[in-house]
Amino acid sequence: MPQERNDVRQLSPALENYLEIIFYQEIREGAARASSIAEAAGVSRSTVTSTLKVLKKMGYVEYEPYSLVHLTEAGMHIGRDIAHRHIVIQEFFQHVLQLEPGVSNDVACELEHVLPPDVIRRLGQFVLYLRSREDMWKNWQEDYKQVRKEHIQSGSDRDLARNAPPMLTMRTQMMGQDALREKYR
């Protein structure tokens, strides 16, 4: 039986994505099919078949060619963990930072594999804190949206870049201030 946390670190982001996809399909349908995994992952069925063989060898899925796919207990644990991470990150970016849903989803897909568990926990706690204090924070999202607009219009991005940590300054120089502003608007 695979060790839970150590094996998660050994899984590539691509393999974690497969476990997440299978997790969602198994929850919804009772099992996953190679063709529906391929569609969700945007890859060929042969790619899914070879990946399922790897995941089976690692002890994360029960799979035989041309049959339904089920997660093992270890696979279920990791799939659920990755899905949870995705939801927490997406909620934070969409509802706290007010990024578009598509951007929030894309960023969550990338970060779910690299953020440590304690960071995920803190993001989740913060989102829950804001939701539990809606009466105190009733208009914070509108206020924040207005402050963002004013910030962009005032040109204070230049001041932030000037006083930013070196890596942010380098990224600003590489991408260009207008490109960064548009990307994170």
Q: What is the mean pLDDT of the chain?
A: 82
For residue 62, the SS3 value is: strand
| Mean pLDDT lowest among 30-44, 61-75, 161-175 | 161-175
Can you tell me the distance from the alpha carbon of 112 to that of 73, in angstroms, rounded to the nearest whole number?
20
Q: Is the pLDDT of residue 80 over 90?
A: yes
Q: Is the pLDDT of residue 76 over 80?
A: yes
Q: Is the pLDDT of residue 106 over 50?
A: yes
Q: pLDDT value at position 157?
A: 56
Contact 46/38 with Cβ under 8 angstroms?
Answer: no
Q: pLDDT value at position 30?
A: 95
Question: What's the CATH architecture for 83-132?
Answer: Orthogonal Bundle (1.10)
Residues of the chain with CATH 1.10.10.10: 4-78
β-bridge mates for residue 71, sequence order: 61
pTM reported for the whole predicted model: 0.71
Q: For residue 129, count other CB atoms closer than 10 A to its CB.
A: 10
Q: pLDDT value at position 88?
A: 94
Q: 3.20.20.70, 1.10.10.10, 1.25.40.10, 1.10.3720.10: which CATH number matches 4-78?
A: 1.10.10.10
Short-list 51, 58, 55, CA closest to 2: 58
Short-list 123, 115, 102, 124, CA closest to 16: 115
Residues 6 or more apart in contact with residue 26 via CB below 8 angstroms: 32, 69, 70, 71, 76, 79
Residues of the chain with CATH 1.10.60: 83-132
The amino acid sitting at 18 is Y
Mean pLDDT over 100-128 rounds to: 92
Residue 182: pLDDT band with limits 50, 70, 90? low
Q: Using the structure block, give the residue that is written with the tokens 């829950």.
A: 128
Phi, psi of 88 (to 5 degrees): -60, -45
